[in-house]
Amino acid sequence: MRLPEIAKLGHVALVTPDLEKSLWFFRDVIGLEITEQVGDTVYLRAWGDFEHHSLSLTAGGTGYVDHIGWRTKQPEDVEGFAELIEKTGTNVEWVEAGTEAGQGRAIRFKLPSQHTFEIYYDVEKPEVEEKRRSLLKNQSYKSWNRGVSPRRFDHVNIHTSTDASLTYKFLEEQLGFKMREFLRDDDHNTLAGWMSVTPLVHDVAVLAKPQAPTPARLHHISYWSDNMQDILRAADILCENNIDFIGPGKHGISQAMYLYVMDPGSGCRVELFSGGYLIFEPDWEPIEWTMAERSLGNTYWGDSVQDKPENNITIEAK
């Protein structure tokens, strides 16, 4: 019997107390394109994203993540995951088509970490009006049209004050994620895991944070650019807009170049990301990092994320 499979990370649904400021940041500074606005929710995507949206912004009282969405490989996989997840005793909520603009019927459930995941297959891939459409038939929008202009949505990084080992196990056994790199403490507990369902080093990173104020937190969402020069260009754009940031630097884990910047409307951190490596080996052995190697894993070179107190800021995920 074939098991259901997740194809890719789809989107993050972000709630913001200042929709106008968040929209300015993501549209004009980061350079995402607006797909559609429905009431108090704006749907956006990068110029290389094909789905209806990779980010939604909804007006609310505080900044938090409502859910993280994942697309399956086949339509029947949504039902398949519902059955598998319900067998673990986890409550599964069905979300009817159209509840989220551009998306078909989906399921939502909570990880052991208490983050809400959404799984769907049916999704619109809207046509782009001529003035914004790329001449390239294999690309949605004109590149470099505005702001930083990243190509695509890349990954999410989540933190939890719960027993993170339960979430690693759930992601592996129920959702089909593979551990690619991980950090262990001196007692051999896994403190951080970089996991994926694609050849990326991570579609999601899960970090144990016992001191977190609530069980489920978001550290950052990430958008990917074609090369490292794009990240340096992003630093110039952020400076011109008087926005503070961390980086540029290069991670040892993932080998990618990074820059971190905070959405001033919601408090959501965005990692602008480039480089890294892909995994094609079917017998890949997860890379272990020790506490003695943690600094190198976090920052191979550059502006260290660990030396900045603002790096500890996370927003709630529900």
Chain-centroid distance, C-alpha 124: 20
pTM above 0.85, yes or no: yes
- The answer to whether the beta carbons of residues 256 and 273 sit under 8 Å apart is yes
Q: What is the pLDDT of the chain when averaged over all its residues?
A: 95
pLDDT above 80: residue 304: no
Return the pLDDT at 1: 67
Measured distance CA(44)–CA(16) in Å, rounded: 14
| Model confidence pLDDT, tens digit, residues 57-86 | 999 999 999 999 999 999 999 999 999 999
pLDDT above 80: residue 306: no
- Mean pLDDT for the stretch of residues 225-248: 96
pLDDT above 60: residue 192: yes
- Mean pLDDT for the stretch of residues 224-245: 97
Contacts of 305 (CB under 8 A, 6+ apart): 246, 247, 249, 258, 260, 298, 299, 311
| Model confidence pLDDT, tens digit, residues 124-145 | 999 999 999 999 999 999 999 9
- The answer to whether the beta carbons of residues 97 and 103 sit under 8 Å apart is yes
CA distances from 147 to 35, 138, 233, 278, 299 (A): 17, 22, 10, 27, 26
Measured distance CA(93)–CA(98) in Å, rounded: 15
Phi and psi dihedrals of 254, rounded to 5? 85, -20
H or E segment to which residue 35 belongs: strand 33-38
Tell me the pLDDT band of 303, cut-offs 50, 70 and 90: confident
| Model confidence pLDDT, tens digit, residues 23-62 | 999 999 999 999 999 999 999 999 999 999 999 999 999 9
**Domains of the chain, earliest start first:** 6-120 (3.10.180.10), 152-317 (3.10.180.10)
Measured distance CA(203)–CA(221) in Å, rounded: 10
Return the pLDDT at 308: 61
Phi and psi dihedrals of 77, rounded to 5? -65, -25
| Model confidence pLDDT, tens digit, residues 109-129 | 999 999 999 999 999 999 999
